Amino acid sequence: MFSPVRPVQHQGKIGQEHIWLNGEKQESSSCCLAGTLLGSEIVRIRFLHTAYPEGLPFQLVDEKEGTLPYHSWIVSTGDEAWNASTSDTEALTALEPYLQGFAFSDNALRLTRPLTGDENFYGFGEHTGAMNKRGQALPLWNWDPDKGHGPQTGRMYTAIPFYVSISTTTGKTSALLVDHTGNVDMDMGKTHPAEIQITVQGDSLIVYFFAGPTPADVLRQYTDLTGRMPLPPRWALGHHQGRWSYFTEQEVREIAARFRERHHASKAFILFLLLIPALRSIRTISFINRGSNADTCVVKKVETSTSAPAGPMIAPLQIFPALMSACGGEISSRTFSSKASQAVGMI
């Protein structure tokens, strides 16, 4: 059973956060809301199941300059970096619409927002089915699904509690991010067709609202907050060929030759080594790079506690640390050109 929050008492500011209590006094308040304007395009609301925020600064996890009023694994821009030229009166007026819809139970927090008739929703990480997730309930929790998953598979490998809303009539775009590392349930109008319900387990629900109004604006605002990835190596942007693994070097080279003959560009062949029963007991692996090819390497020697596969195999260089970690073994020797090493960023 969820009880609604009524932010009845504005308590002033801690840093850049405006604080509202769910009660007339701090002693009678079981939870509070902390709202912040981050520039003119992003709003952050922290809903806390506690009488008052701690008021402690937390260093950014990537060790950049700046702090946050809570610990985050997602945000890479500190509160100090945003333009704070808005007056307190203007900030209170801008924040007020975002304070509605919060509720709490003994062990969970919830945000309910109205769902208009022309909204489509995209994002949420990796899911099967149609791209528009309106009318679906999405449990956001990283999961290795069973083989044979289809359109109704609820969870997939990568869950991201971020979605983009696009109006089918006007094209106006906005977005929402939940900064939470635990389980997040997003009901996009399945239970109640006119409502979005976002529920988290725990005692804090931290939500960022992005104003848009275009998809490009949302992307810029989101990456202003969370950071932008470095440009990957050129080969990583090309086609990577993979299937339920290849068993010999000769087989891979023959397929690669056919790709070249037919002018099908492919930058890497991927071996799903852990799917091959004979390779699940690998403990030591040695490999070399051949020529100037920075995309692949050749397994030179494989030692297992059972029979080893016949002949060396090819795989992207960066697969081996993860492979050996998963197998509980180690890479005994690595010799490859500096060009190859730099290409994959391993040394």
Contact predicate 206/111, CB 8 Å: no
Q: Which domains does the chain have, with CATH numbers?
A: 3-226 (2.60.40.1760), 234-344 (no CATH)
Q: For residue 121, what are the contacts with CB-CB under 8 A and spacing of at least 6? A: 132, 133, 134, 163, 164, 165, 166, 188
Nearest to 151 by CA among 129, 132, 130: 129
**Per-residue pLDDT in tens (0 to 9) along the chain, 347 residues:** 899 998 778 989 998 999 999 876 666 568 999 999 999 999 999 999 988 888 899 999 988 899 999 999 999 999 999 987 889 999 999 999 999 999 999 999 999 999 999 999 999 999 888 999 999 999 999 888 877 778 777 778 899 999 999 999 999 999 999 999 999 999 999 999 999 999 999 999 999 999 999 999 999 999 999 999 888 888 888 888 877 777 777 888 888 889 889 998 888 877 765 545 444 444 444 443 333 343 344 443 444 444 433 333 334 444 444 433 433 333 333 333 333 333 332 22
Partners of 207 in beta bridges:
45, 178
DSSP 102: E
Q: How far apart are CA 91 and CA 37, in angstroms?
A: 7
Q: How far apart are CA 300 and CA 260, in angstroms?
A: 24
